Structure 1
Amino acid sequence: MVGGEAVRRDRVDAVLDAVPARDREARPEGQARAERQRRRWATQVVVADELARRACAARGLAPPPEVSPARGLAVSGAEVADLGSIIAVALVHSPAARTLLAALEAEQRVPEKAVRGYYDRNPDRFLTAEALRRGVDPYGEAGPGDFLPYDDVHDDLVRELRRAMGRQAFFDWLDRARADVEYAPGHEHPGDPSHPDHEHRH
């Protein structure tokens, strides 16, 4: 139940159909547990989509037309590592989630002090190609000419930091928004500690 309205089970089934199961356990009890967790996981993807639809409507945002999920939603390992599997798949599956994330990112203002601070704290990221070839230690013997000038990387850094801030704003929004979601038995969060087979794996 989201906002007192039931979310259809077939939306969860569509996500399950679109995302292949991982290697199945050989034992029947292991298979049953894996399927329970898959259903709980897919429910979270659908909940994120439903909450994002409502948030877009409240903000007057118009997501692109809905596309039926195809089997094998493509999500990179890097995105899963960065976002967690639920949010990574939700962003692939849900036009509303992508629209909301883009809006949250656009709202972020990156202070110049934060940009400069990031540049100064991470010299290893700004070595020139020549310095990298020579194996220069950015925290040791590197000289000023071994680094890309701040002005040359400034705009890319602003975009990168804005993107990170937008993602954090999306995480924070989702945590708040799903606080009042009511789950049907068998559809709880896969990391819910009240269940003996809970897991919190991304």
Structure 2
Amino acid sequence: MTPEHAALIDGEPLPRERVDSFLKAPRRGAGLYRFAAPPRGATSHHEPAPARRQPEAPSAARQRRRWATQVVVTDELARRACADRGLKVPEEVSPASVLAVAETDVADLGSIVAAALAHSPAARTLLAALESEQTVPETAVRDYYDRNRDRFLTPDALRRGVDPFDEAAPSDTLPYDEVREGISRELRKAAGRKAFFGWLDQARGGVTYAHGHEHPGDPSHPDHEHRH
């Protein structure tokens, strides 16, 4: 018998229909969804027309549903976290749709988290709040600048092929004061993402998945793949 819920979150059922809606949702972003989709069985605007598409293997369909469940669960957890924090979540015209996901975000975040952030206004709101709470010490900003001089060569030095760690003159490197704000912003963003991962790991502790909706990497089911 097919369960009516995809998961229990702190004992409260998450309707299976929310996962079904996500799987059927239109994908916005000119095919970029392919980078956020699960490794097998994903859809994109670059695939053949439905009439010519190869039938999806049952194992791929199961993994796609499990992957989608993780995205929907993350959305629900983020909604609850925003409510607890008193954060206002912007409304979306089509809540089930998925926005474009950049390949670099998938590489940095993993496909589940990247797709959850694209799909869920609540997840994006929570991430922004966590990022705003991060404090980056001046020493950390300066240390990053000193250790990554290759990222701050002037255009002229790049054209001349200057080695930033050997032959670079002071004039070959952008001044610290000129790039400090950008470095601080990037470090704050990285710290915010780390805080988001920490929150999500803890929040998932209260989730129990129904059969067929387990994490794609859960070794207790035969189709598991440890991919994110």
TM range (shorter): over 0.9
Q: Deviations over 1:1-35 (max 9, x none)?
A: 012110111111122123574379x997x710111
Structure 1: segments with no counterpart, 5+ residues: none
Q: Map 1:40-189 to 2 at 5 A.
A: 40-69=66-95, 73-189=99-215
Contact persistence 2:71–2:112 (CA under 8 A): yes
d(CA) in 2 for partners of 1:177 and 1:70? 22
d(CA) in 1 for partners of 2:93 and 2:185? 29
Cα offset, 1:46, TM superposition? 0.5
Q: Which amino acid aligns with 2:210?
A: A
Contact persistence 1:101–1:170 (CA under 8 A): yes
Count of residue pairs the alignment pairs up: 200
TM-score, length-normalised on structure 1? Answer: 0.92
Counterpart of 1:193? 219
Cα distance change of structure 1 residues 177 and 68 upon mapping to structure 2, 3 Å threshold? same
Provide the aligned C-alpha RMSD in A: 1.9
Q: Which amino acid aligns with 1:194?
A: S
**Alignment match of 2:42 (pick from 1, 18, 22):** 22
d(CA) in 2 for partners of 1:54 and 1:182? 16
Q: Which amino acid aligns with 1:82?
A: D
SS at match of 1:171: helix
Contact persistence 2:136–2:187 (CA under 8 A): yes
Contact persistence 2:96–2:119 (CA under 8 A): no
Cα distance change of structure 1 residues 139 and 81 upon mapping to structure 2, 3 Å threshold? same
SS at match of 1:189: coil
Contact persistence 1:15–1:69 (CA under 8 A): no
Q: Is 1:10 equivalent to 2:36 in the alignment?
A: no
Contact persistence 1:40–1:189 (CA under 8 A): yes
Cα distance change of structure 1 residues 91 and 40 upon mapping to structure 2, 3 Å threshold? same
How many percent of aligned residue pairs carry the same amino acid? 68
Contact persistence 2:218–2:225 (CA under 8 A): yes
Indicate the structure with greater helix content: 1
d(CA) in 2 for partners of 1:165 and 1:130? 32
Q: Which amino acid aligns with 1:40?
A: R
Counterpart of 2:5? none
Q: Which amino acid aligns with 1:10?
A: E
d(CA) in 1 for partners of 2:101 and 2:128? 18
d(CA) in 1 for partners of 2:21 and 2:99? 11
Structure 2: segments with no counterpart, 5+ residues: 1-7, 28-32, 34-40, 48-52
Contact persistence 1:14–1:69 (CA under 8 A): no
Q: Deviations over 1:53-106 (max 9, x none)?
A: 110011011100144246663111111111111111111111110110000000
TM-score, length-normalised on structure 2? Answer: 0.82
Cα offset, 1:166, TM superposition? 0.4
- Runs of 4+ with deviation above 3 angstroms: 69-73
Contact persistence 1:56–1:96 (CA under 8 A): yes
